Structures are given as C-alpha cells and as structure tokens.
C-alpha cells in the first residue's frame, strides 16, 4: 500500500530541526503482511528522547529509516501463522519484545534478546525482513516498529493487545516511556515500601519512574534535574522533594534528608557528573540503576575502592528489564486505578508537518511527550 511516513536520510543535522528537517514526509510503499506478520493502522506515536538522540547523531541508525518506536494502533490484517491477534484488536507497539527462544528470552529478559538486538541494529524487522520502500528503493525499519507512519508491518512480538477503553494516544506512551521508566523501578530495582529513591532526569521516562516509585510505596522520592521548570509536574506525579542538578550541596542535602543516602538512584542522563553525584548520595549497599544512554563509545567511571568497600551495586536496565506482554497490562491496570497517571505526560497531538519542530521542543524541554497522529 502507499502511505505517508517520516523518513530520515541524514543524522547530525544542525538545530533548529524545524529548519534542517531530519525527517522528510514521504509517500512510501508498505508491503505485507506475510507469514508471521501483522499490519497495524498507527493511531498515535510518541516523540521520544531516543528519537531526538538519533536526529542529533548520538545514536547511529542504518539509513534511510522510517522513524518511530513507541506507538499504538489497530490491527487491520494478520498474516498466515499469527495467533493471539486478529483484525480490530487495539495494540501497543513496542521495541521491548524478543524472539522468545534465545537464552535471554527464556530467562525472562527479552529486552536484551540476541536475535532482536541484531535485527534492530541492522534496521530490519525482528524476522530479518524489510517491508518499506521509496521509489523502489528499500527503507530500513526503526527498532522493528517504524510507527512514524500511517501503517506499519511488524511481528507479533512487537505488539501487546490491550483493552479498547484505553485511549490510543495514551496507550502509546506505554510502549517505551512506561516500559522503561516503570520497569527500572519495579523490575530492575524492585523498590519496596519505605525505600528512599532518587530519579535523575525528569523527562518522560524519569517521570514514569517517579510514578512507579510512588506506586511501589517508596517513602522518599527525590527528583533531580537541571531545569526547575520540571519540578511542578514532578511533584504532581509523586516526588516528595526536588533538587537542582547543579546544586553544589546536592550530595550533602540528599544524604542529610535520607539519613545517609538513598536506597536506589535511577540515572537517566548518562552524564558523568550526575553519575558521580548519584554514587555519592547512594547509601552503603545501595544501588545505582543506569537507564539513560548516550553515544555508543561513551564511558562512565566510578570509584572502585568505594564500590567494593561500601558494597554498592551499579547496574543497567534495558527497556525496563522486563517482559512487555506481562508488564504492560500490569502498568495499564495501575493507570486505571490512578496509581500510574501517565496521561499527565501527554503534551498534545501533532501532525506530520510538526514532527521536526517537536524535536526542538523536546530538546528545549518545553514538552514531555507529544503524540504524532499520522492521520491528522
């Protein structure tokens, strides 16, 4: 079929992106679905910091690529061999699925699936295929999803069926921000009632971590960011305290507030200075959970002697260290109960012609999560 899609031909263009236009809106061809594939009508796609980092050139992608990895839509057709999905189903589209067969998937860690990791890095669908083209030339897929488009063909592992009462422009946020932010708290750290936590970086993922910490019963939830303009929403969704990331007394204030340090620090900025502070205000036997990523060749350092002598843990949390088909329904139930108010992150809907400007808004921190409506 012929449809509209946002195609990236170059990375690392100058800002503002509204002028340099990393995404071009094109009429592209979509093939399929074939054996084991599903055709989805995309109704909403989140504009995420990952999309911004790709536009900036920090995270390399095989080009040209149709963007978008966090979405929601309606199943329109299923290929032969697909079970568990049928036309009319509402689904969340996520890059958090795995092959279901490798050692990591079998261990309940599909976010680090070997097979999907390879296909994702090559710009292919999880089954190794490409179904997008422009003027006869093949295009690459983004994280096996490519939902900056009116329609998408993907595999069932990238789709989680949801109840139809959830608005699709809210459901889309669960595909990345919620899976990543809530999963870091509930799966990787397993925050318990009474714990003290710090969340560094109050974007969409960080604010979801705040919500999840509150839902988990954390007694002290500290939000940290360089921009104090983010503090009102952070407090609204669960922060008990907020601090500026550049505060020279940050470590002392947090250690004093928490009687020696937090139990868990969630580091979402991949910044060395923030990492140093997080290490210092985490108590003995505490844990620093690294969620944010930067350039593939970047490195973070830590004091080895203190890591050992204070019995601390530094760990990563890829896509929430969870299982999307198990976790997303759980998070949706928390949303229904009012314990994960993800709708507060929704910064409005945009059309294709607004997509590049939306990246500028994200860079300037004037929005949290704008939603692309591909049919607007």
Per domain, the residue ranges of the chain are 2-175+341-372, 181-318
Nearest to 147 by CA among 25, 24, 46: 46
- pTM score of the predicted model: 0.96
If residue 213 lies in a helix (H) or strand (E), which one and from where to where?
A: helix 204-215
Contacts of 207 (CB under 8 A, 6+ apart): 181, 233, 234, 237, 344, 345, 368
Q: With contact defined as beta carbons under 8 Å apart, do 251 and 278 qualify?
A: no
Nearest to 373 by CA among 87, 73, 39: 73
What is the CATH number that goes with domain 2-175+341-372? Answer: 3.90.180.10
CATH class (in words) of the domain with range 181-318: alpha beta
Spatial distance between the Cα atoms of 314 and 279, rounded to a whole number of angstroms: 9
Q: With contact defined as beta carbons under 8 Å apart, do 214 and 194 qualify?
A: no
Torsions phi, psi for 17 (to 5 deg)? -70, -20
Q: With contact defined as beta carbons under 8 Å apart, do 237 and 230 qualify?
A: no
376 residues of the chain, pLDDT tens digit each: 999 999 999 999 999 999 999 999 999 999 999 999 999 999 999 999 999 999 999 888 999 999 999 999 999 999 999 999 999 999 999 998 888 889 999 998 998 998 888 998 899 999 999 999 999 999 999 999 999 999 999 999 999 999 999 999 999 999 999 999 999 999 999 999 999 999 999 999 999 999 999 999 999 999 999 999 999 999 999 999 999 999 999 999 999 999 999 999 999 998 999 999 999 999 999 999 999 988 778 888 889 999 999 999 999 999 999 999 999 999 999 999 999 999 999 999 999 999 999 999 999 999 999 999 999 9
Spatial distance between the Cα atoms of 169 and 143, rounded to a whole number of angstroms: 20
């Amino acid at each position: 079929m012929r449809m509209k899609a946002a195609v990236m031909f170059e990375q690392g263009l100058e800002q503002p992106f509204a002028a340099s236009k990393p995404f071009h809106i094109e009429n592209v061809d979509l093939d399929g679905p074939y054996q084991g594939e599903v055709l989805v009508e995309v109704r909403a796609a989140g504009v995420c910091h990952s999309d911004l980092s790709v536009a900036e050139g920090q995270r390399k992608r095989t080009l040209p690529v149709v963007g978008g990895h966090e979405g929601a839509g309606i199943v329109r057709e299923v290929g032969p061999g697909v079970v568990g999905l049928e036309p009319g189903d509402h689904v969340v589209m996520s890059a958090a699925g795995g092959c279901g067969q490798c050692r990591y998937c079998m261990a309940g860690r599909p976010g680090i699936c070997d097979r999907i990791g390879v296909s994702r890095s090559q710009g292919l669908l999880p089954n190794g295929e490409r179904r997008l083209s422009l003027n006869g030339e093949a295009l690459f897929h983004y994280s096996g999803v490519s939902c900056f488009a009116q329609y998408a063909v993907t595999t069932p592992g990238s789709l989680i069926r949801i109840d139809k009462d959830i608005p699709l422009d809210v459901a889309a946020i669960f595909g990345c921000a919620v899976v990543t932010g809530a999963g870091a708290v509930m799966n990787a750290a397993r925050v318990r009632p009474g714990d003290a936590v710090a969340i560094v970086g109050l974007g969409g993922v960080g604010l979801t971590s705040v919500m999840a910490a509150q839902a988990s019963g954390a007694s002290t939830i500290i939000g940290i960011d360089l921009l104090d303009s983010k503090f009102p929403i952070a407090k609204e969704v669960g922060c008990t305290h907020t601090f500026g990331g550049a505060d020279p007394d940050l470590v002392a204030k947090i250690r004093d507030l928490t009687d020696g340090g937090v139990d868990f620090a969630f580091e979402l900025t991949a910044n060395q200075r923030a990492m140093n502070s997080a290490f210092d205000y985490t108590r003995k036997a505490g844990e620093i959970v690294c969620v944010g990523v930067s350039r593939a060749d970047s490195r973070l350092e830590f004091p080895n002697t203190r890591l050992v002598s204070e019995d601390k843990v530094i760990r990563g949390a890829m896509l929430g260290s969870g299982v999307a088909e198990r976790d997303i329904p759980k998070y949706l139930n928390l949303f229904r109960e009012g314990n994960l108010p993800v709708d507060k992150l929704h910064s409005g809907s945009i059309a294709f012609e607004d997509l590049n400007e939306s990246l500028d808004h994200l860079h300037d921190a004037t929005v949290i999560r704008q939603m692309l409506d591909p049919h607007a």
